[in-house]
C-alpha cells in the first residue's frame, strides 16, 4: 500500500467517524428503529389544565411569588390522611423541600406545617376529588395525578423535575 492510499483511507475513516452518527440518527427517526417507547413520568401530561393564575380559587393564595414548584392537591372533606400523606412526601424531599410549596385546595380549619390553603369558588370541570397537580415555578401544570396516586411515584417524578431544573428561574414572566 502506497503512502497516497494510506492517506485516502485515513480521510475516508475520518469522514466515516462524522457521517456514521448522522446516518444512524436518520435511520432511527425515519424507520423508528431503536427509539425507546416507554415513559419516564408516572403522572399524566394534561395540557387542558390552565395555569394556576387562572384557577377559580377564592382568595387566591400567592404561592407563585416565591418562584417555587407547587404541589397542589384537591382535598375533599375529611381528607386529613391525604394531607398527611402529601406532608410526609414533602418531608421526604430532604434538602430540596424548600423549593416546593404545598397548596391544599378544600375546606381545612388549620394547615399543616408549610402548607398553603385555598378554596374553589366553583369546581372546574377538569378537577376531581383527591387529584394532585405538580406545577412549575410559573404556575403551569407539568403533571397531574388521579386520586389514589402512589406517593413513591409522585416523589420519583418530583425528584426528577427538581434535578432537571436545579435553579430558580430568574425571569418568572410567562
Q: For 79-105, write each residue's pLDDT tens digit.
A: 888 889 999 999 999 999 999 999 998
128 shares a domain with 61: yes
34 shares a domain with 56: no
The pairing of strands 115-120 and 100-105 is parallel
* Residue with the larger pLDDT of the pair 1 and 16: 16
Domain containing residue 157: 52-164
The pairing of strands 115-120 and 57-58 is antiparallel
Is the pLDDT at 174 greater than 70? The verdict is no
In a domain, 172, yes or no: no
Banded pLDDT at 168 (limits 50, 70, 90)? low
What b/e readout covers 70-87, taking b as 16+ CB neighbours within 10 angstroms?
bbbbbbeeebeebbebbb
In a domain, 169, yes or no: no
Percent of the chain that is helix, strand, coil (3-state, to 5): 40, 15, 45
* Residue with the larger pLDDT of the pair 51 and 77: 51
In a domain, 44, yes or no: no
29 shares a domain with 56: no
In a domain, 170, yes or no: no
In a domain, 173, yes or no: no
Whole-structure pTM value: 0.73
Amino acid at each position: 500500500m502506497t503512502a497516497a492510499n494510506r492517506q485516502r483511507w485515513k480521510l475516508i475513516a475520518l469522514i466515516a467517524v462524522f457521517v456514521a452518527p448522522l446516518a444512524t440518527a436518520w435511520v432511527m427517526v425515519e424507520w423508528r428503529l431503536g427509539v425507546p417507547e416507554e415513559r419516564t413520568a408516572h403522572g399524566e401530561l394534561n395540557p387542558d389544565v390552565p395555569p394556576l393564575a387562572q384557577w377559580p380559587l377564592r382568595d387566591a393564595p400567592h404561592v407563585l411569588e416565591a418562584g417555587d414548584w407547587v404541589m397542589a392537591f384537591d382535598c375533599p372533606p375529611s381528607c386529613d390522611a391525604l394531607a398527611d400523606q402529601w406532608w410526609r412526601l414533602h418531608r421526604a424531599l430532604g434538602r430540596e423541600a424548600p423549593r416546593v410549596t404545598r397548596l391544599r385546595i378544600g375546606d381545612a380549619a388549620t394547615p399543616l406545617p408549610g402548607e398553603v390553603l385555598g378554596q374553589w369558588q366553583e369546581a372546574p370541570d377538569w378537577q376531581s376529588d383527591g387529584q394532585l397537580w405538580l406545577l412549575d415555578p410559573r404556575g403551569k401544570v407539568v403533571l397531574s395525578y388521579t386520586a389514589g396516586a402512589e406517593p413513591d411515584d409522585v416523589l420519583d417524578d418530583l425528584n426528577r423535575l427538581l434535578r432537571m431544573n436545579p435553579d430558580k428561574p430568574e425571569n418568572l414572566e410567562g
